Each structure stands twice: as C-alpha cells, then as structure tokens.
Structure 1
C-alpha cells in the first residue's frame, strides 16, 4: 500500500521589495561640491596651458620658417614628416637615452640624500631640527640662476674651490682642471645643481612621513631584537613608502625636463654632448630655426612625461584608496 504524502505548510509569500527611495538632493550636492571647487582651477589651467599646448601640436604638423614667422602667413602643412625624420634620427635616441640616464642618476641621488637627511632630522634635538628645516627651506627658495652661478664658481677651472680642495690631497693635481671638458664630469656637476635644489622638498616630505611612524612599533621591534636595518625595512619603510613613491615620481618628472641648469651652467651655449630633450628642442627651435621640428621634439617629450604623470596619478589614487 503506497504512502500518502501530506501537504506541507503553505509557503510564506515573499515580501515585495521596497521601492528605492529617490537619492536625496543633499547627497548629490555633496558629491558635486569637489568638482565645483576645482572647476575654476581647471578652467584657468586650460586657458593658460591648453591653448599653447594645442598650438604646439598643430605647429609640429606644419613647416614653420622665418618667412611665415615674420609675415604671419599660415605655414604649409607637413603632416608626419617631422616625426618620421626625428624618430629615424639616431641622435634623437641618443638624447633620449642620455635624458633617461640623467634622470635616473638625479632621482637616485636625491632620494638617498633626502632619506639620510630625514632620518638625521628625526634623531636630533628639536632646536637643531628647526635650524635644519630653515636651511632646507632657504635652499629650496634659492633661484636656479643663483644656484647655477655658485656651482660654476665652485667648479671653475681657474678659481674653483673644488680644484683647490682636491689639489690639497697628496698625488692629485687639479690645477686648471676643466670639469666640462669631459661630459661625464660635466654632468656630475650639473647633477649636483639639480640634486641641490631637489633635496629640500624630498627631505622635508620624508621627514613628515617619518613623524607618522608609531614609536611603540619601533620600541617593540627593538625589544624583540630587531637590528637597525631590519627595523627600517619591516617597520619604518612600510609607513613612509607611499610618500617616498610619490616624491620619486615627482622628481623623475621634474628631472626629465631639466633645461635651466644645463643652459646656465654652459653659458647659454651647451655642446651637443650636453643635449637633453629640453635643450635639444630649444636649440632646434631657436638656434637652428627649425621651429616645427623643435615643436615635434617638445610634443614627444610631453608624451614621455605623460607616462610619468600617469604613474604619479595612479600612486595618488592608490594612496587615497589605502586611506
């Protein structure tokens, strides 16, 4: 005899989903407020930088000569001719490699010296830290022309202090030594000028980041027997890493476009061995009068800098998400 299935309890009816409440106007206004606040700045930057950048791009596709420059006539269209000529020129890629190597050297020296200065500022007494901060701010505020003049005097072949100090060492003769005769030595002096101006910003930023390292974590690590290197690697560095990455990205962008230091150190007449992308673009435009070719080099430089800017923005986004 088959079993009879008894009817189970009736299923409870699923309650209807509540209708979504309309988004309050206050929330919409709150989300739109940041964009409204930065809108004047964005419009001002677009007005100041947007038109020159667009004009630069258009000029790179034209063939501007002195005739069009002085007559005001529209230059003939050249298309991609300047870009093909530049990208197929071996000297351009030599300048690109030299610029990249110079940027890496400047950024590495800046970050190492800045980190050492920041660590020193953390360990000294408050009044010494205040004096160091004042000195760094004074160096940061020094005009590039003044800094370049000082370094030209320090490395002067006839009256340079560097040659005099090195000549005091036994077995060394640096009398009348020209530091810019060899491009490697000349770029070492120019790197000193760039690093001199960049260390204050980086050191003060890293010092502010070091002040956020919890003291109890360092004390606990020392109690557990951590060595200074291990303490910095596992406790200090993770805290200051976001600031260090941001400073490194900014310094790379600034150093990639260096122009003033080289131009001033070489007296307005840099040799080809001292060409970086900024100098190369300026020389092509205003010394050789190849205005459109110089504009094309400048556009390529901007595109390369945009790569560094993308890294910088991504770091900012990641930092904001982490917080």
Structure 2
C-alpha cells in the first residue's frame, strides 16, 4: 500500500504566500506605515504653531530690513525698497560694533555667574533635608515665577537714589557716601544692578534642573566609588559630573539665548542709559527702530542680532546634538 504525502505548492504561488506570511500581510504593512506616521502627525500642531508665531514674524522682519521705512512711509502705506543699505550702514557703524562687544561680554558674565551659582544651589538641594529642600525650592519657584517687568520695577525701588532700601542699608553700615547714590548714573553701576536682577531670576531654572538631574544618578555608583577609596571631590568628578554634563550643556545653551535677548530688564531699568552706554543689541534695535522711527534699520539690526546669537550658540548646539546622538 502506497501512502501519498501532500507536498506544499511550488512555483510563484508558493513564493507569494511565503512572502506574504513573512512580511505580515498587506493589512499589517498598512498598519505599520500608519503607526510610523503617528509621531509626525502629533508634531504637526506644534510645528504649525511655530511657523505661525515665529516663522511669519521672522519673515516679515527680514523683508522689512530691506526697506526704507519711517513714519511717513508707514502712514502713506508706501513700500520703498533700498536693498542692503540698512545692513551696510549698520555694519559700518562704530556704535554697532561697540554694542555687539558689550552684548557679548554682558552675556558671558551673566551666564557664567548663573551657571556657577545655579549649579552650587542645585547640588545643595540634593544634600538638604526634606523640609529645608521644600522651603528653598518654594523660594526659587517664587523668584522664577515673578513677571520680568514686576521684578525690574522692584529692583528700581530697591536701588532708588533717595528712598531705596539698598542705599539706606549701606548708609547704616557706615558707607555714608552711598546714602543718596544714583545707581543709574554710570555704566558700571547700571550693569551691576541689571546683572544682579538677571542672575537672581535665572538661578532657579538652573538649580531646579540640576537638582532634578542629580536624582537620576544611581546611589550604587557612589557606594562603589566609596569602596574604591574615592573622597567627596573624586566622587563628584567621576560620578556626578558625567551625569550632569548633558544637563549643563543644554542649560548653558538656553541661558545664552535667554540672557542675550534680555531686553526688558535693561530697557525698563534705565532705557539703555546713561548716554546709551548700557545698550545691548535688542535695546539698540528697539531704540533705532521704534525710538528713532527707522523701522528698516531696526529690523536689520534685529536680523544681525539673530545671526550673531546663532554664531555664539552654534558650538553649544553641536555639543547638545552630539549628546543626544550618543544617548541614542
């Protein structure tokens, strides 16, 4: 008796069936393609809002920078193109380069102080007890949440010439020459107050971020370092810093941008005075554009400010992107 066994079909039909089974079938492939599109669909509203709120104003500013627009043209709705004249006049202005150098130094000093003090306070938060940490975090959040104009106004009151608390305290401590001192009378004193304000408002962001980063460090690493005979400094450099480095790079990048465009603090406190000696690039663009009614010139300065800021942050941007690629 002969027993016949059924063999699988051969030829193209069998191959197609095998391919369909291996790839999961048409329905599964369609579902896979749909799933791949979901992240992009979720990002679409945010991208659309970014283009609408940032891209369109930036494009309008760029077009305005190639125009000769003052109050007369604005009232008459006349568009007068002048090419690169605004950029040429700005780049050949000695005052523009003085303001640019001043802005870079101002940002460097502020960011340096913010990162050093913010890092120290963030590490302190990790060492404090529960209630002390809660109290300090509450104070940091309140300082961070205060509106910029309100905070600047408070600092104007604190450093007021006749009735300011700071002058009164300094006078009581023996510095009688400070009783009626005007903090807005010189470049250095004005920058001192503005720097104090910006650092005070920025430290909470850095400190809270760094404290959050320390909570991700496994305690076993500190125990292993202690068993190896590592002291406090060596544990900090070999365990803590490698974990904090990506956060420090990203936070520094954000702080450079935030400080470089600190228009409100400088302008509200002393309008870039005295004698325009405390103008930084955002204030300079506003004074030339709105104050002097040279709107095309102000737009050109704003575009150049963005380019300078991108140049300054490009190095940190590369580091941040490289850190993200390494983590992947």
Name the TM-score class by shorter chain. 0.7 to 0.9
Q: CA RMSD in A?
A: 2.3
**8 Å CA contact retained: 2:125, 2:211:** yes
SS at match of 2:177: coil
Which protein has the bigger helix share?
2
Distance 2:228 2:189 in 1: 47
**8 Å CA contact retained: 2:183, 2:189:** yes
- 1:170-189 matches, within 5 Å, as 170=174, 173-189=177-193
Aligned residue number for residue 268 of structure 2: 264
Aligned residue number for residue 195 of structure 1: 199
C-alpha distance after superposition, 1:33-68 (max 9, x if no partner): 221111111112212222221111111111112221
C-alpha distance after superposition, 1:276-305 (max 9, x if no partner): 000000000111111111110001111223
In the TM superposition, what is the alpha-carbon distance from 1:315 to its structure 2 partner? 4.2
- Runs in 1 of length 4+ with deviation above 6 angstroms? 18-23
Aligned residue number for residue 90 of structure 1: 94
Aligned residue number for residue 5 of structure 2: none
C-alpha distance after superposition, 1:104-147 (max 9, x if no partner): 11111111111111111111111221222222111111011111
C-alpha distance after superposition, 1:204-258 (max 9, x if no partner): 1000001112222223323433332222222111111101110000000011111
Moved more, 266-275 or 147-156: 266-275
**8 Å CA contact retained: 2:107, 2:259:** yes
Distance 2:233 2:166 in 1: 34
- 1:13-92 matches, within 5 Å, as 24-74=29-79, 76-92=80-96
Aligned residue number for residue 162 of structure 1: 166
- 1:1-323 matches, within 5 Å, as 24-74=29-79, 76-170=80-174, 173-266=177-270, 271-307=275-311, 310-311=314-315, 313-323=317-327
Moved more, 308-317 or 277-286: 308-317
Gaps of 5+ in 1: 1-17
**8 Å CA contact retained: 2:170, 2:179:** no
Give the alignment's TM-score, normalised by structure 1. Answer: 0.87
Give the alignment's TM-score, normalised by structure 2. Answer: 0.86
**8 Å CA contact retained: 1:137, 1:200:** yes
